[in-house]
Structure 1
Amino acid sequence: MTEEVQPVNKAAADPPPVRKKGLEEKMKRWGIPIAIIVFLILFFMPAPEGLKPDAQKSIAIFTGALVLWITTPIPIYLTSLLSILLLPLTGAVKDQEAAFGTLGFDVIWLMVSAFVLTSAIMKSNLGRRFALWMVTKFGKTPVRTLLVLVLINFILAFFVPSTTARATLMVPICLILLDIYKSIPGKGNLGKVMLLQGVQADAIATSGVMTATAGNIIAVGFINDQAGGHIGYMDWLLASMPTAIITMLITFFIGLKLFSIKGESAFEHATDTLKEELKKLGPFSLNEKKATLIFALTVILWATGDYQKGWFGFEISTEQTAVLAALLCLLPRIGLLTWKEANIKWDLMIFAAGAYAVGNALDKSKGAEWMIKKVIAGLGLEHMSHALVYVLVVFLSMYSHLIFTSKTVRVTILIPAFIALAKSLGMDPVALALASAMTLTYTITLPPHSKVNTIYFATGYFTVLDQVKYAIVTCFIGAAVISLSLFTWFKILGL
């Protein structure tokens, strides 16, 4: 068994807990009573005109769950369990299978398989070997090294379907580089820009690959189930990856302007030291060979999904491919993991199941449609052009992480709402929901906004102000590029 390589900087691997501010403490303290009060008011109030009883009950459950998901007085998966229980008990859904059956959705299986694949790539050390090889091969100058690190983040997004796992993999490599380049925290900009771009590359690359995070997978589930879409792995990749690459390239050079590295860092002997780190991994292990073959097969099957029917007379879906890959990882002798080593986040599985149950109840009861119509009337959106609504939704979705720190919670709240909005205005719900979903990985403004931010921030190479300054620019550019893509690239793709 290949021994797991420990991170160079312990702070990067075990970031200090973020101290809760006064507002967050108050939210936790008052979350449960507020959720109960809101639920009871909405559940028992006289039904407004046009709102059916099951829709009213669905809205009450969703709103109560929303308060708990935002304030987090209890873990989010417990809120989902409570919601799943309340839906059939209150009559919000007529058949309890509509609530309890969501854990069997194909998208849940895709998430399970994604966690198995993450565990395999981490155990095999394949990602670390690849990153060190890329830097020693192509990183001959500071700027080229930074570009290589960004490229590695984008490549790893295809193979490591976890933002936190990729950050855990990349930060030690960055710290090795900075030690070699004699970059000290608080002195010079090389470490600052390298780690800030690591935060952004992780997030932006994630937006380009459907399986790069559970949030993307959940969003696709909503788009296909509620908007009538048929978004698969390649559809997401073709729609989102070009915008991700363009955004990253623009913001990469803006970062070099904001944090100039001219005249910094001695590169003498850097390549030799990195080669030593690569040499410590030893020869290509059996586990690495297995991981390479499994991931190569997975990517080939995902990439050829649209052509398999014509070639073979049958098609292996995205979900089937992911389950096959997980099976190969776990099979005795063939695979490289035991079941205990597969780090499956069951709490996230349960949260997603509850989110789907409540979201689908809102959709099928027409509760979401009723709420959105009220919002449209209140804001006067029906008098705006569809183009303006598209842009407003994209920017709103982009900056929503300032309020909701969890990607999965934001997906659960926003995607069904935007689908209902599009239907109410006679717009294309698939295009609007897909464009907004592409923004939801941009959780890059403050350290507490994601675990990735915390891991990078714990290195001490950049300040909160540095991150905010760079992120505001990046988020604006990202939203602008995605908005432009809606009216150009999406049309070319037939979306």
Structure 2
Amino acid sequence: MNAVAGIWATQGTVVLTGGLLVLCMALWATGLVAEIVTALLFFALAMLLKLAPATTVFSGFSSSAFWLVTSGMVVGLAMNHSGLGARLARMLSDRLPDSYPGFIAGLVAFSFLLAFVMPSNLGRIALMIPVLMAICDAYGLSVGRPGRTGALLAFGIATPMLSAAILPANVPNLVMAGTAETLFGLHLAYLPYLWLHAPVLAVVKGAILTACTVLIFPDRISGAQTPGDPLPPLSGEERRLAVILVGMLALWMSDGLHHIPPAWIGLAAAVIVMMPRVGVLPAEAFGQVPLKTCFYVAALFGLTAVVNETGLGRDIGHALLAMAPLEPGHLAKNLATLTGIAVGFLFAATANGAPALYTALAGELSQASGLDLMTVVMAQVVGYSTIFLPYQAPPIVMSMELGRIGLGDATRLTLASGFASLLIATPLAFLWWRLIGKLP
């Protein structure tokens, strides 16, 4: 009897965990309630229903990704406060080409470059969209012009899409890295990750996005860009922040030498930014950091940990493997299937939630495909960086709100760039992996 009761209790926990998983993912995907409300709902229900110990439910707060997101918010706030972010935007506007295709390409490239020093998608959108609207006015792309819509959308879509090639630059990457570290002990390094993904997921996808934008929103530069007043000299705050950012980036890029994870480097930079006389932010400015995003990341990790501890992850993996055409020795088919699984999770759980579900199944997927665990984990980046609908990436939704862009226009561009990326960039990504020796 005790054995039967134990089985029923276990199955009941699995069923309740599955219900909580569906509820949270549905709320996050549809946005019926705020992300922070869903995150707190997860913590409350998981503890009330006794699905797992508190150490498991709240394990996201001890993950490196949680602290990297938090530190990225602080650094972004410092760039806004010091004026360094506005200076970078002004430098951009002075160097953009006068041709419309060149203008769009410049914005897409700047979105990627800014991700190196400002590791927060939403922070970059909040900083740049108002600035880009002013730049569009200077270039004659007034309200209602297709070029204005294209410019704002190109930057908004490039922000989450291209930053997938930089390990600490967006939430999906951090969710993936944190889950892989927690479940499998995999540690991702900054430069190898950049070398693996940037040539295709940044350069090729950036070119695809530029071409799609120019074709869907054709326009021309009708106003002469007049040089503005010369930029003032760097202030003391800007100089100090620039030194901190250069040091942070240098340590990120040399992690193969010192083996310090990017999260702790980012956290140290955030602390220095708020130090008296050394930094640029007063300590009380931390109250302006949008911690709801940090709690969202912690909830995702906690949900993943609960799913795995209760055995639900194993059950989902078995069901998925029964349908997925994975077979050792069939490299192309396996990679296409893995990418398809990642894209499927993107529709169900958005770009932020998809890596948590996929990575939790990576062990099962590795066994079924015969591919090593790291290859299976990395294959999902190709998938979740391929965005088809605006709701799949919160930065795109934020860009639409700030730029007053309709859902129809945004959907046209995400669908076009998503399908073009799937057909062109996906096979090129795996071809690149083979050329550099990451695939047999």
The TM-score with structure 2 as length reference comes to: 0.85
- Counterpart residue number, 2:317: 372
Q: Secondary structure at the match of 1:306?
A: helix
- Structure 1 distance, partners of 2:307, 2:69, is 23
- Counterpart residue number, 1:295: 245
- Counterpart residue number, 1:64: 20
Deviation for aligned residue 1:403: 4.1
Residues 430, 123 of structure 1: alpha-carbon distance in 2 compared, 3 angstrom cutoff:
same
**Contact preservation (8 Å) 1:77, 1:351:** yes
Query: Which residue, out of 456, 471, 474, partners 2:414?
Result: 471
Deviation for aligned residue 1:303: 0.6
Query: What does 1:95-114 correspond to in 2, within 5 Å?
Result: 96-114=54-72
Deviation for aligned residue 1:437: 3.3
Residues 382, 136 of structure 1: alpha-carbon distance in 2 compared, 3 angstrom cutoff:
closer
Deviation for aligned residue 1:154: 0.9
- Counterpart residue number, 2:47: 85
Query: What does 1:65-464 correspond to in 2, within 5 Å?
Result: 65-71=21-27, 75-82=37-44, 84-86=46-48, 90=50, 93=52, 96-187=54-145, 189-243=146-200, 244-261=202-219, 264-268=220-224, 270-272=225-227, 275-276=228-229, 279=231, 282-308=232-258, 315-342=259-286, 343-364=288-309, 366-377=311-322, 379=323, 381-382=325-326, 385=330, 387-398=332-343, 400-404=345-349, 406-443=350-387, 445-446=389-390, 450-456=394-400, 458-460=402-404, 463-464=406-407
Deviation for aligned residue 1:328: 0.9
* Matching residue's letter, 2:365: L
How many residue pairs end up in the alignment? Answer: 426
Residues 347, 193 of structure 1: alpha-carbon distance in 2 compared, 3 angstrom cutoff:
closer
Residues 466, 67 of structure 1: alpha-carbon distance in 2 compared, 3 angstrom cutoff:
same
- Structure 2 distance, partners of 1:490, 1:334, is 46
Deviation for aligned residue 1:483: 4.4
**Contact preservation (8 Å) 2:327, 2:368:** no
Q: For structure 1, which segment, 485-494 or 118-127, has the greater mean C-alpha deviation from structure 2 after superposition?
A: 485-494
Deviations 1:404-458 (A, max 9, x none): 3x43333333332345333444433322222213443555633685243343455
Residues 484, 365 of structure 1: alpha-carbon distance in 2 compared, 3 angstrom cutoff:
farther
| Aligned residues: CA RMSD | 3.1
Deviations 1:251-309 (A, max 9, x none): 31233233333xx33343x132xx23x64xx432222111111100000001111134x
Q: Secondary structure at the match of 2:361?
A: helix
Of Structure 1 and Structure 2, which has the larger fraction of its residues in helix?
2
* Matching residue's letter, 1:67: L
* Matching residue's letter, 2:40: L
Residues 432, 109 of structure 1: alpha-carbon distance in 2 compared, 3 angstrom cutoff:
same
Deviations 1:77-120 (A, max 9, x none): 2123125525xx74x54x64344444223332222212211211
Q: Secondary structure at the match of 1:246?
A: helix
**Contact preservation (8 Å) 1:164, 1:451:** yes
Q: Secondary structure at the match of 1:307?
A: helix
**Contact preservation (8 Å) 1:444, 1:453:** no
- Structure 2 distance, partners of 1:338, 1:228, is 37
- Counterpart residue number, 1:11: none
Q: For structure 1, which segment, 475-484 or 167-176, has the greater mean C-alpha deviation from structure 2 after superposition?
A: 475-484
Q: For structure 1, which segment, 198-207 or 58-67, has the greater mean C-alpha deviation from structure 2 after superposition?
A: 58-67
**Contact preservation (8 Å) 1:106, 1:319:** yes
Residues 301, 284 of structure 1: alpha-carbon distance in 2 compared, 3 angstrom cutoff:
same
Deviation for aligned residue 1:237: 1.8
Q: Secondary structure at the match of 2:143?
A: coil
- Structure 1 distance, partners of 2:296, 2:194, is 26
- Structure 1 distance, partners of 2:141, 2:54, is 59
Structure index of larger Rg: 1
Residues 78, 175 of structure 1: alpha-carbon distance in 2 compared, 3 angstrom cutoff:
same
**Contact preservation (8 Å) 2:208, 2:421:** no
- Structure 2 distance, partners of 1:52, 1:318, is 43
* Matching residue's letter, 1:57: T
**Contact preservation (8 Å) 1:203, 1:442:** no
Residues 316, 84 of structure 1: alpha-carbon distance in 2 compared, 3 angstrom cutoff:
same
Q: For structure 1, which segment, 77-86 or 208-217, has the greater mean C-alpha deviation from structure 2 after superposition?
A: 77-86
**Contact preservation (8 Å) 1:305, 1:317:** yes
Tell me, which stretches of 5 or more residues in structure 1 are unaligned? Answer: 1-45, 309-314
Q: Secondary structure at the match of 1:316?
A: coil
Identity within the alignment, %: 17
- Structure 2 distance, partners of 1:444, 1:199, is 13
- Structure 2 distance, partners of 1:47, 1:220, is 38
Residues 339, 442 of structure 1: alpha-carbon distance in 2 compared, 3 angstrom cutoff:
farther
Deviations 1:109-161 (A, max 9, x none): 22221221121112122122112113313534333332222221111111222
Residues 204, 357 of structure 1: alpha-carbon distance in 2 compared, 3 angstrom cutoff:
closer
**Greater than 6 Å deviation, 4+ residue runs:** none
Tell me, which stretches of 5 or more residues in structure 2 are unaligned? Answer: none
**Contact preservation (8 Å) 2:109, 2:206:** no
Deviation for aligned residue 1:400: 4.5
Deviations 1:4-40 (A, max 9, x none): xxxxxxxxxxxxxxxxxxxxxxxxxxxxxxxxxxxxx
Deviation for aligned residue 1:238: 1.9
The TM-score with structure 1 as length reference comes to: 0.76
Q: For structure 1, which segment, 167-176 or 424-433, has the greater mean C-alpha deviation from structure 2 after superposition?
A: 424-433
Residues 158, 125 of structure 1: alpha-carbon distance in 2 compared, 3 angstrom cutoff:
same
